[in-house]
Copies of this chain bind each other. A is one copy, B any other.
């Protein structure tokens, strides 16, 4: 087992290599990178493979911008569990005099937006969050299945390129009765396995937990792990010893159904589950495990991606 210090060195190294190879473009902010043409192409090919895996289900496509109604965010419970990851949006609402003060503060290097009031939106913490309020009410018989993809925000600045401030998540979201939802998630476990096999990634499935805030959070995390509500497919990105989640399969039970008033056709509270593919992380795992030159990747991997 390597120490946290060693992991840090390795994260730093892998990030520097990605920058040297021109795959990521520095922006001067830790965890925020531009994507080169090559890296972006890999992300799109990975996304295409994920889409193919889910194609038989004919999910209903919805696309949301990477922001979420602030009221829906409050109702979701995210602020209670993950305040440290939250990103809020603020806008200027003053007159010309207030504007002069803002510019003065900026000139002095201060927090010029300290007095900006909160906008009615926050940054989306996951692609699926806008789906639940949009589907409030009664589901059709058999429930619904939605395909969402968007940039997401998590405030965890790091030298680990696998922890970007904003990254893309492609998700399928199932809303139905518990039995249907659980069977659906199990199907995706098999698909995830065939996905990582096809990409030649050394991956495994783990019962996992979300990074709940504070001391009370530990109990929540233990309960989540015990009930196997969160399963993660993990693989080496910045470190071999501390692998990173690239796919997450979450069973929310009636959490969102209850909060947003989603009912099954039969009238009971709907259960929900989502499976999310972290597109940048999967691309990073490919570069980490197969090298920085895509032309040298194993033939079966290139074929699976359509390269």
Interchain CB contact under 8 A, A155 and B119: yes
Query: Is A118 a contact of B123 with CB atoms below 8 Å?
Result: no
B-side contacts of A155, CB under 8 Å: 91-92, 119
Partner of A34, one of B74, B111, B130, B165: B130
Q: A40-B63, A74-B106, A80-B103 are in contact. Are A89 and B133 (CB under 8 A)?
A: no
> Interface size of A by Cβ–Cβ distance < 8 Å?
67
The reply to whether the CB of A25 lies closer than 8 angstroms to some CB of chain B is: yes
Contacts of A99 on B, CB cut-off 8 Å?
Answer: 83, 213-214
Bound complex: CA A84 to CA B119 (Å): 12
Q: Is A195 an interface residue (CB 8 A)?
A: no
**Does B80 contact A62, Cβ atoms closer than 8 Å?**
no
B89/A215 in contact, CB under 8 A: no
Q: Are A214 and B28 touching (Cβ within 8 A)?
A: no
Interface residues of A in 74-118 (CB under 8 A from B): 74, 79-80, 83-84, 86-92, 94, 96, 99, 102-103, 106, 111-114, 116-118
Q: Are B103 and A90 in contact (CB under 8 A)?
A: no
Residues in B whose Cβ lies below 8 Å from that of A71: 28
Of B27, B133, B215, the residue contacting A27 (CB under 8 A) is B133
A99 vs B123: C-alpha distance in the bound complex, in angstroms? 19
Chain B minimum-CB-distance residue to A62: B34
Which residue in B120, B130, B165 is a CB contact (below 8 Å) of A67? B165
Q: Which of A35, A88, A94, A116 has the most CB of B within 10 A?
A: A88
Partner of A88, one of B35, B70, B90, B121: B90
What is the CA–CA distance of A237 and B72 in the complex, to the nearest angstrom?
Answer: 29
A-B contact pairs, 24 of them (CB 8 A): A25-B64, A27-B133, A27-B134, A28-B72, A28-B133, A29-B69, A34-B62, A35-B62, A36-B61, A36-B62, A40-B61, A40-B63, A65-B164, A80-B103, A83-B92, A84-B91, A88-B116, A89-B89, A89-B153, A99-B213, A99-B214, A111-B118, A113-B122, A151-B151
